[in-house]
Amino acid sequence: MSYYIEDLQPNLTAEYRKTLTETDVILFAGISGDNNPMHIDEEYAANTRFGGRIAHGMLSASLISTVIGTRLPGPGAIYMGQNLKFLKPVKIGDTVTALVTVLEVLQDKQRVRLQTECWVKGEKVIDGDALVWVPRRPA
């Protein structure tokens, strides 16, 4: 689904769900260059407060981008800003649901303010908000 700015209204929602795998974490480390041992070294991570490896916070947060770029608002939308709070760790094998909700539509500027969240097993793991530019319906 794709929306133009004229289609958007508060409380519209969309989500994307993905189970984060070992492969996802290793590929994300390679792409991002974030080789923090919390993500890639089980022996190291086992001795931390998390008791094992955790997924990159930005890997989970990238699922929010998936919703914005493919579902709400969808293709053509451009990120202008994103605020994030990482509330709980996400472990390899967890299924993350990224949820985006329209908070405010700024028609004159072609922008929309969105609530952005990620959830695992009914617990919020990321909370945030985004500002996104949205195209107008073609004439």
**Of 15, 94, 16, 85, the residue nearest 55 (C-alpha):** 94
Reported as a pLDDT band with limits 50, 70 and 90, residue 101 is very high
pLDDT of residue 102: 98
Write the pLDDT tens digit of every residue in 16-70. 999 999 999 999 999 999 999 999 999 999 999 999 999 999 999 999 999 999 9
Core vs surface per residue 94-118: b (16+ CB within 10 A) or e = bebbbbbbbbebeeeebbbbbbbbb
Write the pLDDT tens digit of every residue in 105-116. 999 999 999 999
Strands, sheet with 95-106, edge to edge from the N-terminal-most edge strand: 13-19, 95-106, 111-120, 123-133, 78-86
Confirm whether pTM is higher than 0.85.
yes
**Domains contained in the chain, CATH given:** 5-133 (3.10.129.10)
Write the pLDDT tens digit of every residue in 119-139. 999 999 999 999 999 999 998
pLDDT of residue 2: 86
